[in-house]
Chain A
Amino acid sequence: MLGKIASHYFAGKSRLLHEKSLYERLAFSFILKRREKMGLKTGKLIGLAALIAMTAPLALPQKASCEVFELNSLANLFEGVSFDHDMHIEAVSDNCSVCHHHSAGTPPTDATCIPCHLKSAETDSAACNACHVNEPFSSASLEASASNPLLHHKVKPGLKAAYHQNCLGCHQETGGPVGCQDCHALTEKGEKYYNTGQFAPKPGKSSSHH
């Protein structure tokens, strides 16, 4: 068990340095769950493994620099997207607000944000999903925004829309990749969903009548 987690963890680390936080969290939550199920002795052993695993990344940089993120919130239909954060920091000449609006401590660039957020401090988390939720139109989300009369940002794009509007909007202007599959390689499920690849309709089988 220990070997399995460690090899899983280190394999991930050596392959993609940046995935450390993800693997760290995965390994940790896995161990916590296991501990509940197993006896104390086994739990202690695995806890020790966790401790070893946790100390390793301390040597690595903690800031959001030197990182390539794996964006995999759409991992059902698509392969994860490898996002080179460093390269994008360079592309915007260290002006975090180009993407992070006002949450990264740099003054906002969008005219609509300036009136309120010109002097906003860095927020606890500048991650996209700290503000942009996965299901913006669920009954709970709609209820939450309706029941708060002081809320200014009543309708914010969901996480998926925030990514695409931000990424694609800039890519169109700067000549970055804009084709769907330039970033998103389809999984088998994805090919089925889009009726393409191995699930493409057979040619000449048109049954439509207009």
Chain B
Amino acid sequence: MKKLNRRNFIKGSLAGGLAAAATCNAKDAKAAGGDFGGYPDSMGVLVDLTKCVGCRTCEAACNKEQGLPEPDKPFDDFSVFDERREGGLPRRTTEKAYTVVNRYEVEGRAHPLFRKVQCNHCNEPACLTSCFVNAYTKTPEGAVIYNPKVCVGCRTCMIACPFYVPAYSYSSAINPVVKKCIMCYDTRLKFGRPPACVEACPQGVMTFGKRKDMIALAHEKINAKPGKYVGHVYGETEVGGTSWMYLSDVPFAEIGFDTHLGKEPIISHVKDFLAIVPMVLCIWPALFTGFHLLATRKQTNKENSTKA
């Protein structure tokens, strides 16, 4: 009789302890999630969309640097700008192309506007938040890289990414994984060199440097030529800030940018839920085991006493 009570007591205190630990963790998560703001000395790229002429050299450079498979069309074939996928949308990044250039005909603009798409390398990446095997890393240099060896191909990051960047190797039957731009981390960024596309661009569309310097430069450019650019640097604050930022002379909404993402990192929207997950996993089994034992205690006692 006494023995059983003690066991119950230990179980109860264990469950309580776990609950306390889980609550503590949740508080920590609340303090960390969404307040990171990026590494102070991380690198960034400022893309001046007004300068791009749509030559696709960046696509070719990316293909060679990353050792990607042969493209479907040559890189000097400009018919790709007319391609449309489901929903009439222009091209997106794929397992074979980590960056693509799209053309936008803008009313009232003398020339079409070209926009390069690649991973924006968020300060607080949603892909990283969503990945349950921790395949993603945000490096101090600013790149969001991933480890394909641990990727299980669940594609949660593809849904989590607000920019629809990660692509998937659908063509691989045996080991399909997520594929995306890594800002040339392995071959260049790590050694202090700019990504291949930045270096290859003939027009100097992209400027590479410390992210904070790029923000300053962007505002200098906006102020230096009043009326030339729209007064916003896309990526400075979007979803907590991104390493790649954009200047444009037409409203961003007109050239396919999502302007309703808000300033909060994606993790801020999900951290409350994510904090509950470990709590549920830790407390519920202990709690309901306790309930079960309590509920069946009388019967167990009876059985024990009859045995005795």
Measured CB to CB, the residues of A under 8 A from B are 112, 135-139, 142, 146, 154-155, 157-158, 160-165, 168, 172, 178, 180-181, 193-197, 200-201, 205-210
Q: Among A165, A172, A210, point to the contact of B204 (Cβ < 8 A).
A: A165
Which 6 residue pairs are nearest across A and B when measured between Cβ atoms?
A161-B204, A196-B74, A139-B192, A137-B208, A137-B194, A157-B204
Asked if B74 contacts A195 (CB within 8 A), the reply is yes
Size of interface on B: residues with Cβ below 8 Å to A: 39
Interfacial chain B residues near A193, Cβ < 8 Å: 60, 64, 75
Nearest chain A residue, comparing its CB with the CB of B203: A164
A165 contacts B203, C-beta separation under 8 Å:
yes
Interface residue from B74, B213, B224 paired with A200 (Cβ < 8 Å): B74
Instruction: Give the distance in Å from the alpha carbon of A201 to the alpha carbon of B71 in the complex.
Output: 7
A168-B53, A195-B63 in contact; A161/B201 too (CB < 8 A)?
A: yes
B199 & A137 in contact (Cβ 8 Å cutoff) = yes
Specify the chain A residue showing the minimal Cβ separation from B64: A193
Which residue in chain A gives the minimum CB-CB distance to B206? A137
Whether A196 lies near B76 (C-beta < 8 A) is yes
Residues in chain B near residue A201, CB distance under 8 A: 70-74
Residues of A within 8 A of B94 (CB): 208, 210
A181 and B76 contact, CB distance less than 8 A: yes
Are B204 and A194 in contact (CB-based, < 8 A)?
no
B85 close to A (CB within 8 Å): yes
Chain B nearest Cβ from A66, distance in angstroms: 29
A194 touches B76 (CB 8 A): yes
CA distance A102 to B208 in the complex (A): 26
Contact with A along B62-106 (1 / 0, CB 8 A): 011000011111111100000001000000001010000000000
Once the chains bind, are A208 and B96 in contact (CB under 8 Å)?
A: yes
Asked if A161 and B203 sit within 8 Å, CB to CB, the answer is yes
The answer, yes or no, to whether B116 is at the interface (CB within 8 Å) is no
The residue from B60, B96, B202 contacting A161, defined by CB atoms under 8 A apart: B202
Q: Does B217 contact A (CB under 8 A)?
A: yes
Is there a chain A Cβ closer than 8 Å to B30's Cβ? no
Main secondary structure of the interface of A (DSSP, over half): loop
B203→A209 contact, CB < 8 A? no
> Hey, which chain A residues are within 8 Å of B199, CB to CB?
135, 137
Contacts A138-B193, A210-B85 known; A194 to B203 CB distance under 8 Å?
A: no
Which residues does chain A contribute within 8 Å of B217, judged by CB atoms? 154-155
A157→B224 CA distance, assembly (Å): 16
Known contacts A157-B204, A194-B75, A195-B70: A165-B198 contact under CB 8 Å: no
B198-255 residues at the A interface, CB under 8 angstroms: 198-199, 201-204, 207-210, 213, 217, 224-225
- Asked whether any CB of chain A lies closer than 8 Å to the CB of B111, the reply is yes
**C-alpha spacing A135/B204, complex, angstroms:** 11
- Judge if B55 is at the interface, Cβ distance under 8 Å: yes
Cβ A165 vs Cβ B209 within 8 A:
no
Name the interface residues of B147-202: CB closer than 8 Å to any CB of A.
170-171, 192-194, 198-199, 201-202
B138 at the A interface (CB under 8 A)? no
Chain A proximity mask over B47-69: 1 for CB below 8 Å, otherwise 0: 00001010101001001100001
Q: Are B111 and A172 in contact (CB under 8 A)?
A: yes
User: A residues within 8 A CB of B213?
Assistant: 146, 154
**How far, in whole Å, are A194 and B71 apart by their CA atoms in the complex?**
10
Q: How far is the CB of A13 from chain B (nearest CB, A)?
A: 31
Instruction: For the complex formed, measure the closest distance between the CB of B83 and the CB atoms of chain A, giving whole angstroms.
Output: 10
Q: Offer 14 A-B interface pairs, CB within 8 angstroms, sorted by A.
A: A112-B224, A135-B199, A137-B194, A139-B192, A146-B210, A154-B213, A160-B204, A193-B64, A195-B71, A196-B77, A201-B72, A201-B73, A208-B171, A209-B170
Partner of A195 from the list B60, B170, B193 (CB cut-off 8 Å) is B60
Distance between B121 CB and nearest chain A CB, rounded to angstroms: 16
Which among A137, A158, A180, A209 is the interface contact of B76 at CB below 8 angstroms? Answer: A180
Distance in Å: Cβ of A83 to nearest Cβ of chain B: 15
Give A135 to B198 CA distance when docked, in angstroms: 11
**B96: A residues at CB distance < 8 A:** 208
Chain B residues 21-66 with CB under 8 Å of chain A are: 51, 53, 55, 57, 60, 63-64
